[in-house]
Amino acid sequence: MLPSYEETLAALRIPEVELKQLQQVHKRKLRTAINWFWISAVITIAVCFIVYGVAESDGLWPILTLVLSLFCLIRIFSVHAANKRAYRLDYKHKVVGPLADTMLKLAKLPHETRDYEKYCDYAPEAFIDRAWISKSELFVTDIDDITGEDLFTGKYGLTEFQFSELKMTRKETTTDTDGNSTTTNVKVFDGVLFAADFKKHFSGLTVINTKVIKRDTGIGKLVSKFINAAVSTANKRANQKIELENVEFNHHFIVQTTNEIEARYILSSVLMEQILSFVNQHPHPLVISFHDSYMFIAVYSSKNFFDDGIGKSTPNGEYNLQGIYNDLSIFFRIIEEFDLNTRIWNK
């Protein structure tokens, strides 16, 4: 079980002095940029007065000084943006990473043995690589561009895991009747991809897709069947659609697989209940796949995970990490809720 937010905060050593020093450096840089702007503005006004007012000529000096002032003004914004980026990166390294690691180190798992390990590494600018994305078999279309951030990797008990934010797009070219072609970026995925080493060994592919429309009887069932199939992101390799014994599970999900027996081996009645419980607690749409002894969960959401509260503080001046703690809990709890540390089978 993960520690509470308060327990985690108490154990976490936030390098407040370092962060404050960093903020001071950034403030100094910004002040310098602002000062240069004011100097250039005063020079511009003075030059205009001298050239147009006193000398009454059409010289270029006022224009040059005006350009200089504009440059200084733009510089203020770019320095502010660079400061913000640098501070966020440093904050993530010094606070978010240690927060994740502390959460796992303080966690208490049932039936812990000496083989259990609990740690989490963090790379704020990295993301899950293309090989793992392909391995998940969750995205059937071509992917032209992948960006992401906040890569967490580690081990929680006996289960190795990794997850990160991902944005994936593909290029679509359309040609109008005049022969003019336009290329647009179409979003394939925006959210978090989670991968964990599953507790059983299997080689095939099973995909669990959330139903868009949930109708189980009458004409609605027929209509929903076509619509759900049309919007399905399931890999076409998993071409056997199966219905399981859990009626509620079948109501929420479409299950497709390359091997029906293997799908039922993975999806025991207990795991189906665990998946239902997880989905009911979290509102984001998701797709789950099981491939080559790994479990992948794609959480669709445009929310900026693991960034909430950076640089902000509570009314009593403490760092506000509740949002980041909640986001991390969602993914660490997957390992607990799906009981991935129970390894009583050969793998």
The residues that touch other proteins, with contacts defined as CB under 8 A, are 200-201, 242-243, 245, 260-265, 268, 344-346
> CB 17 → other proteins: shortest distance, Å?
51
253-257 and 286-291 strand pairing? unpaired
Of the pair 108, 114, the CB lying nearest other proteins is at: 114
Of 177, 254, 238, 246, residue with least CA distance to 202: 238
> CB 297 → other proteins: shortest distance, Å?
22
Of the pair 217, 345, the CB lying nearest other proteins is at: 345
Give, as one character, the DSSP assignment of residue 212.
Answer: S
Distance in Å from the first CA to the final CA of the chain: 25
> CB 288 → other proteins: shortest distance, Å?
18
> CB 268 → other proteins: shortest distance, Å?
7
| Dist CA 223 CA 12 (whole Å) | 53
| Dist CA 29 CA 215 (whole Å) | 60
Of the pair 213, 261, the CB lying nearest other proteins is at: 261
CA distances, 346 to each of 3, 72, 114, 177 (Å): 31, 66, 18, 61
> CB 203 → other proteins: shortest distance, Å?
13
| Neighbour order of strands in the sheet with 205-210 | 117-123, 145-157, 159-175, 181-197, 294-300, 286-291, 205-210, 253-257, 240-242
Of the pair 222, 261, the CB lying nearest other proteins is at: 261
Of the pair 123, 276, the CB lying nearest other proteins is at: 276
Of the pair 78, 268, the CB lying nearest other proteins is at: 268
Residue 283, SS3 per DSSP? coil
Of the pair 201, 312, the CB lying nearest other proteins is at: 201
> CB 4 → other proteins: shortest distance, Å?
35
What is the Cα gyration radius of the chain?
Answer: 27
159-175 and 240-242 strand pairing? unpaired
> CB 259 → other proteins: shortest distance, Å?
10
> CB 242 → other proteins: shortest distance, Å?
7
Give, for 191, the enclosing helix (H) or strand (E).
strand 181-197
Of the pair 268, 313, the CB lying nearest other proteins is at: 268
3-state helix, strand, coil in the chain (%, to 5): 45, 25, 30
